[in-house]
A and B are shown apart, each in its own frame.
Chain A
Amino acid sequence: MASMPSIKSREIRIAPEVPINRTLRFWEGLDEGRVYASKCKGCGQLRFPPVADCPSCLSQEIEWVDISGEAEIETFTHVVAKPESFKQDRAYTIAIGKLKEGVKVLAWLVGFKMTDVKIGMKARLTARTTPEGTSTYQFVPP
């Protein structure tokens, strides 16, 4: 930040409201303890994160598939230097896992000893509600 002479700009607070109307079932599912992927009714493609529209066949009709949660970790990192809005969180582990169904998921990995986290290990994807009431999902020990 400035140690040189400067004038502070006017402050602006930005927190856009992101519509979830078309993927609402996904978010409701998380609150019920389920993680859904979207499946295109036109071409059958399974997608995660879920999408309401299919870029392959242009169909706008999807169904929701309850996924098994069985995953294999493809990569991970322990994040020490955190961004401003995660400052209150403890250091966290981000992982990408490939689900049995073939789709991949990026999420926090919790419940493992840090030194035990390895590429190729098994984990389970579960729904989670944070203490602040945010619906999300995470990898946990199988």
Chain B
Amino acid sequence: MKKVAIIGAGNSKFGNRNDVNVSELAFESVKPSLEDAELRARDIEYLALGTTGAGALYEEILPAVVVAEYCGFTEAGLIRCEAACASGSAAFFTAYSAIASGKVDLAIALGVEKMRQVDTSTTMEWMGRAGYYFWEFHNFGLTFPAYYALYANAHMAKYGTTEEDLALVAVKNHKYGLKNPIAHLQKEITLDDVMSSMVIASPLKLLDCCPITDGSASLILASEERVRDLGIDTPVWVAGIGYSSGTANLSRRQDYVGLEASVLAARRACRAAGITIDHIDLAEVHDCFTIAEIIAYEDIGLCKKGEGARLIREGQTEIGGKIPVNIDGGLKAKGHPIGTTGCSMIYELTKQLREEADERSRQVPLRKYVGLAHNVGGTGHYCYVTILKR
């Protein structure tokens, strides 16, 4: 297998982006990523697009074709990847594999999502269907927050995690979101703000939930030969990728206190990278809801099972703590444009590993120059973990 590096990265402003259509939004991240790599669109041999809202949340049903034409990639190999909220990581894995296998030397992983062209309850409907529609949505109307609320109540009952612990995750991620110019929610919040916000699906309240966000992120990948030929000075290498999946029916899961897909994906990613979890300098984890971040700490091995709440209480996942997590604001404050998120996590890691964080106070001190992105699709239906090393 060939070594693969990220040589260009771009991220659009996240938020309510009804000022642009899906192609224009994609262009906003493609342009800086190509400029970063000093390449033109026609140099790229393969494009993998992560997006989930095609034909449902936004109007185009073949978005890869539409976006590729708009951004100048026509004639490149082309695919749309769907792994729910992990579609961006699935696109990244696809582009990585095209190079690692020796098929191509330059590829792009692109994530784009438009979630705000329809009303909120329609978005809730589509997201709620993102599990097993027939058995768990059709008669029972699960929503995306409700899926994670089932995990939150079980985790609280088993480990004594409290609603305040969950709220602390939101407070932390908003604190960093405020320092990230691309973040959707640029506002510091207090524990009280979270606790007094409206209940969405008990015990999750409005401020436990990520916002409904539009955005795109783009990564240019190159083979080792091409990195050398192009004279790239700070390539960020793909050290290892791990992946797994969980049952469609939540009722077929063993328990509701962790996501088995995350445990397996993280273990496989570490093995592929030849590291143990304590080697990483920072992590991006999938905090679509506050409980998801606490569960992720445990599932990927930042702490023992049941001790996730302690990590947030002690501030261990802030800069200066044991392991900084979601220093870009996370899905919670930066926003979660479903199919974009994986690419945006990897964008953040790339910037951090190159020590180019837009605001210096947001730069994580690096020892081993290793970062990890944990991206869950659905409710542990899919999981991709990507480890990068400068």
| B316 located at the interface, meaning its Cβ lies under 8 Å from any Cβ of chain A in the complex | no
Counting CB contacts under 8 A, is B230 at the interface? Answer: no
Q: Is the CB of B121 within 8 A of A87?
A: yes
> In the complex the two chains form, is B135's CB within 8 Å of A106's CB?
yes
Given contacts A83-B125, A84-B121, A104-B252, whether A6 and B18 have CB atoms under 8 Å apart is yes
| Nearest residue, chain A, Cβ from B248 | A49
In residues 94-143 of chain B, which contact A (Cβ within 8 Å)? 116-119, 121-122, 124-125, 128, 134-137, 139-143
Query: Across the interface, do A1 and B119 meet the contact criterion of CB distance under 8 Å?
Result: yes
- B149 cross-chain contacts in A, Cβ below 8 A: 77, 79
Check if B66 is an interface residue, CB within 8 A of chain A: no
Cβ B150 vs Cβ A75 within 8 A: yes
Q: A2 on the interface (CB 8 Å rule)?
A: yes
How many of chain A's residues touch chain B, expressed as a range? 35 or more
Of the 9-residue stretches B197-205, B296-304, B341-349, which lies at the interface with chain A? B197-205
CB atoms of B153 and A104 under 8 A apart: no
Q: Is the CB of B251 within 8 A of A92?
A: no
Does B250 count as interface, using CB distance less than 8 angstroms? yes
Asked whether any CB of chain A lies closer than 8 Å to the CB of B256, the reply is: yes
Nearest CB of A to B127, in Å:
8
Query: What CA separation (Å) do A48 and B122 show in the bound complex?
Result: 29
B residues near A120, Cβ cutoff 8 Å: 157
Chain A residues within 8 Å of B256, by CB: 74-75, 96
At the interface, yes or no: B190 with Cβ under 8 Å from chain A?
no
Q: Which residues of B contact A92 (CB under 8 A)?
A: 140-141
Interchain CB contact under 8 A, A81 and B201 = yes
Whether the Cβ atoms of A80 and B198 lie closer than 8 Å is yes
**Residue from the list B140, B154, B201 in contact with A107, Cβ < 8 A:** B140
Number of interface residues of B (CB under 8 A): 44
Q: Does B234 contact A (CB under 8 A)?
A: no
Q: Do residues B141 and A119 form an inter-chain contact, with CB atoms below 8 A?
A: no
Bound Cα distance from A9 to B251, whole angstroms: 38
- In the complex, chain A residues 1-42 whose Cβ is within 8 Å of any chain B Cβ: 1-4, 6, 9, 18
Separation of A78 and B200 alpha carbons in the complex (Å) = 8
B63 to A: closest C-beta gap in Å: 14
Asked if A76 is at the interface of the complex by the 8 Å CB criterion, the answer is yes
Whether A78 touches B251, Cβ cut-off 8 Å, given contacts A2-B117, A84-B124, is no
Let me know if A59 is at the binding interface, CB within 8 A.
Answer: no
Check if A85 is an interface residue, CB within 8 A of chain B: yes
Q: Residue B378 at the A interface, CB < 8 A?
A: no
Q: Mark out the residues of chain A between 59 and 112 whose CB falls within 8 Å of any chain B CB in the assembled complex.
A: 74-87, 89, 92, 94, 96, 103-108
Q: Taking CB as reference atom, which chain A residue is nearest B55?
A: A12
Residue in A closest to B143 when the chains form the complex, CB atoms? A83
Are the C-beta atoms of B145 and A106 separated by less than 8 Å? Answer: no
- Distance between B58 CB and nearest chain A CB, rounded to angstroms: 9
Q: Are B153 and A136 in contact (CB under 8 A)?
A: no
Contacts of A82 in B (CB 8 A): 121, 124, 141, 143
The answer to whether B249 and A49 touch across the interface, beta carbons within 8 angstroms, is: yes
Known: A77-B204, A106-B142. 19 other contacts (CB 8 A): A1-B18, A1-B116, A4-B18, A75-B151, A76-B150, A76-B153, A77-B146, A79-B149, A79-B201, A80-B201, A83-B137, A83-B143, A92-B140, A94-B141, A96-B256, A104-B251, A106-B249, A108-B139, A119-B157
The 5 closest A-B pairs by CB, nearest first: A77-B149, A86-B141, A83-B125, A75-B154, A84-B125
Task: Pick 25 A–B contacts, CB within 8 A, sort by A.
Answer: A2-B116, A4-B18, A6-B18, A49-B251, A75-B151, A77-B153, A77-B202, A79-B143, A79-B146, A80-B199, A80-B200, A81-B145, A81-B198, A83-B121, A83-B125, A92-B141, A96-B251, A104-B251, A104-B252, A104-B253, A108-B139, A108-B140, A119-B154, A119-B157, A120-B157
> Which B residues are within 8 Å of any A CB, using their own CB?
18-19, 59, 116-119, 121-122, 124-125, 128, 134-137, 139-143, 145-146, 149-154, 157, 198-204, 249-253, 255-256
Question: Which residues of A come within 8 Å of B, CB atoms?
Answer: 1-4, 6, 9, 18, 48-49, 74-87, 89, 92, 94, 96, 103-108, 119-120, 134, 136
